[in-house]
Amino acid sequence: MTAHTDAMSGMRMGLANALAAAMPCLITTVIVLVAWEVAVEVTGVPAYIIPAPSRIWAALISGNASLGYHTAITAFEALAGFVIGSAFGALLGIVFAYSPLVARSLMPYVIASNTIPVVAIAPIIMLWFGSGIGAKVAVTAFLSFFPLALNMMKGLQSYDRTVMEVFHVAAATPLQRFFKMRLPSALPYVFVGLKLNVTFSVIGAIVSEFVQSDRGLGFVIMTAYRTLNMPRLWAAMLASALLGILLFVLVAAAERWLIPWHSSMRDNS
Amino acid sequence: MTATSPLLSFSGIDVVFPGGGTAAVTALKNISLDIKAGEFVSLIGPSGCGKSTLLRVAADLIGPSAGVVRIDGRPPDEMRRQREIGFVFQDAALLEWRRILANVALPLELQGVARDERLARARALLDLVGIAGFENAWPRQLSGGMRQRAAIARAMSTSPRVMLMDEPFGALDQITRDRLNLELSRIAEREAMTVVFVTHSIQEAVFLSDRVVVMTPRPGRITRVIDVDLPHPRQLDMRGTERFIELCQLGERLLSEGFDDSAH
Ligand SMILES: Nc1ncnc2c1ncn2[C@@H]1O[C@H](COP(=O)(O)OP(=O)(O)OP(=O)(O)O)[C@@H](O)[C@H]1O
Ligand SMILES: [Mg+2]
């Protein structure tokens, strides 16, 4: 049996397993939705308290002031900020890993900045960057920056000491050490950071839209709240959750593709 | 270099590790040892007697506090840069993120050997160490013995003049270990490898070696060198012969004497 057929059957197994694993959750979802719809119908709870799933769905797909447009705006803000913040965070992490002095000087700020709530920092950043989309991107970039710097640093320090000695005996150059050993060892950590960041970046984008905006899911949520349009509010909530899940799945797919040795190892355990 | 001069020579090697707060540790004291080209030499001795340290000095992983190491008349760092040193660790230390073939080809890749050439060489080596067919496996899919085979192939990839092996089979079960001993012995003979091999097993040392160097700790030094006059090629059933048992008993006695000495 070759490793190739192993991988193929592994993939088929993976799909079947994923379906089997998702089944209980799917069934529960259907049951909950039906019960919810019936309960709203029977008790006559007004829609501004709890809207029925059918009304949320209608609000979700209604063509008028389409949620799709606002979701796309928020998705762009989240994704752009995530990419920019993660890229700069990765660079800072590399500097930290190679210069303990810089790491020691800046680490307290990095840790402190991680504890600042996004609702507190968003208005400040938006004062600097204006009220456009760029300002929201800046907020989400800020959120991604430090977590990735920390994970990149930890990852670059996580290499196996014996493997380092193998590279030494083989007379590897510093660049070879970085690209062929330390960076690959760091990737699992980097993806831990990226998966956290991608979820937070959706939150960051929405929160900064709360502060000031005329489009995006945060804007929809605020206006729906003010006008007590609950089905639309719930639909926006659902859209933001789906957006978060979608971005997370994209990062997870990138992880599987980039570090197959690692993600498949976790499957087996 | 004349034919009789040693390929690997240690003369007057001291290694002292600064204690950093506690007392400094003298890992090796005045070690002198000459190893000829094509010779298989084992180092044996209780834990802490400096076997690994001696190998690490030869591989330029640490510098000696005193004394001189020469490989073919040159300092170890020069030979290391020329990829003339192979090192096999107790832990196979394969790169998890590379398939086996790419792992074995790593030293050639670092050296800048063209892709086709290095992969062809790596394939030949996988064949030599008996794991042909696992080119595309991930390291974690291999058993401990197979991983060690891959590590040996990797160390051999640049055809180094000197092969240093630090308890490469220490973590393996007895049957796997016997097999690998036999195969290593074959490969070393066929390739005329010069090997320094660290082990805790006197049987393994006698089976593989032309000479067994017995060491004692605190400070690490050589007590005796046993010449192994068993015929080549070595066979597993040799281990039942009188001479083999005699040599093992001699080794064991020297080892326990070393313990008594240090207890005084
Ligand atoms: N990097 C180091 N720093 C400080 N002391 C060290 C270092 N490496 C080894 N030593 C000390 O040097 C001595 C010899 O160590 P070494 O690892 O060479 O022993 P060994 O014979 O290989 O032992 P083992 O059989 O357990 O592998 C030990 O006392 C050890 O504690
Ligand atoms: Mg050791």
* Same domain? A210 vs A82: yes
- CA–CA gap between residue A131 and residue A97 (Å, rounded): 36
Question: Residue B54 Cα, ligand 1 centroid: separation in angstroms?
Answer: 10
Q: What percent of chain B has pLDDT over 70?
A: 96
| A chain contacts of residue B135, beta-carbon cutoff 8 Å | 3
Confidence of residue A243 (pLDDT cuts 50, 70, 90): very high
For the Cβ of B216 lying below 6 angstroms from any atom of ligand 1, the answer is no
Nearest ligand 1 atom to the CA of B19 is: 4
* Same domain? A145 vs A176: yes
Q: Average the pLDDT over B36-51 and give the result.
A: 94
Tell me the pLDDT of chain B averaged across its residues.
Answer: 90
* Same domain? A73 vs A39: no
Partner B contacted by A5 (CB < 8 A): no
Q: Are B236 and B184 contacting, i.e. CB atoms less than 8 angstroms apart?
A: no
Which CA distances in Å does A35 have to A31, A32, A42, A57?
6, 5, 10, 16
* Same domain? A103 vs A137: yes
Spans of all domains in chain B: 8-84+160-262, 94-159
pLDDT at A55: 86
Q: Would the pLDDT of A7 be above 60? A: no
Q: How far is A105 from chain B (nearest CA, A)?
A: 25
Pairing relationship of beta strands B25-35 and B8-17 according to DSSP bridges: antiparallel
Which residue in B138, B146, B156, B165 has the most chain A C-beta atoms within 10 A of its own C-beta, making it the best mutation to test that interface?
Answer: B138
CATH label of the domain that carries residue A162: 1.10.3720.10
Residue-level length of chain B? 264
For the Cβ of B49 lying below 6 angstroms from any atom of ligand 1, the answer is yes
Model confidence over A84-122: pLDDT tens digits?
999 999 999 999 999 999 989 988 888 888 888 888 888
DSSP string, A93-146: HHHHHH-HHHHHHHHHHHHHHHHS-HHHHHHHHHHHH-SSHHHHHHHHHHHHHH
- CA–CA gap between residue A250 and residue A245 (Å, rounded): 9
Chain-centre distance for alpha carbon A81: 11
For the Cβ of B17 lying below 6 angstroms from any atom of ligand 1, the answer is yes
Q: At a CB cut-off of 8 Å and minimum separation 6, what does A25 contact? A: none
* Same domain? A202 vs A257: yes
* Same domain? A22 vs A57: no
* Same domain? A68 vs A125: yes
Q: Are B46 and B202 contacting, i.e. CB atoms less than 8 angstroms apart?
A: no
pLDDT at A65: 62
- CA–CA gap between residue B88 and residue B168 (Å, rounded): 6
Which residue owns the Cα nearest ligand 1 atom 1? B17
Q: Average the pLDDT over B135-159 and give the result.
A: 92
Contact B87 A166 (CB under 8 A): yes
* Same domain? A101 vs A3: no
For the Cβ of B52 lying below 6 angstroms from any atom of ligand 1, the answer is yes
Model confidence over A177-203: pLDDT tens digits?
999 999 999 999 999 999 999 988 999
* Same domain? A19 vs A81: no
Q: What is the CATH number of domain B8-84+160-262?
A: 3.40.50.300
* Same domain? A35 vs A148: no
Ligand 2 (ion): residues with CB under 5 Å are B 52
pLDDT at A109: 86
Of B83, B135, B137, the CB nearest to A171: B83
Q: Would the pLDDT of B45 be above 90? A: yes
Write out the residue range of the structural domain in which residue A30 sits: 1-44
Give me the half-sphere count of Cα atoms (radius 13 Å) on the Cβ side of residue A127: 4
- CA–CA gap between residue B167 and residue B54 (Å, rounded): 13
Partner B contacted by A4 (CB < 8 A): yes
The residue whose two tokens read 């507190």 is A120
| A chain contacts of residue B59, beta-carbon cutoff 8 Å | 169
Q: Which of A4-8, A51-55, B203-207 shows the lowest mean pLDDT across its residues?
A: A4-8
The size of the A-B interface in CB pairs under 8 A is 73
pLDDT at A115: 85
Which residue in A166, A177, A178 has the most chain B C-beta atoms within 10 A of its own C-beta, making it the best mutation to test that interface?
Answer: A166
Which CA distances in Å does B116 have to A54, A181, B108, B110, B139?
62, 22, 11, 14, 22
Partner B contacted by A163 (CB < 8 A): yes
**pTM > 0.90:** no
pLDDT at B262: 46
- CA–CA gap between residue A160 and residue A140 (Å, rounded): 34
Q: Which residue has the higher pLDDT, A269 or B166?
A: B166
* Same domain? A39 vs A103: no
| Beta-bridge mates of residue B26 | B16
Model confidence over B55-74: pLDDT tens digits?
999 999 999 999 999 999 99
Model confidence over B121-140: pLDDT tens digits?
999 999 888 899 999 999 99
* Same domain? A22 vs A60: no
Last residue of a domain, one of A44, A60, A75: A44
pLDDT at A45: 84
Partner B contacted by A170 (CB < 8 A): yes
Q: Average the pLDDT over B138-144 and give the result.
A: 91
pLDDT at A8: 52
Q: Would the pLDDT of A2 be above 90? A: no
| Beta-bridge mates of residue B70 | B9
For B166, the enclosing helix (H) or strand (E) is strand B162-166
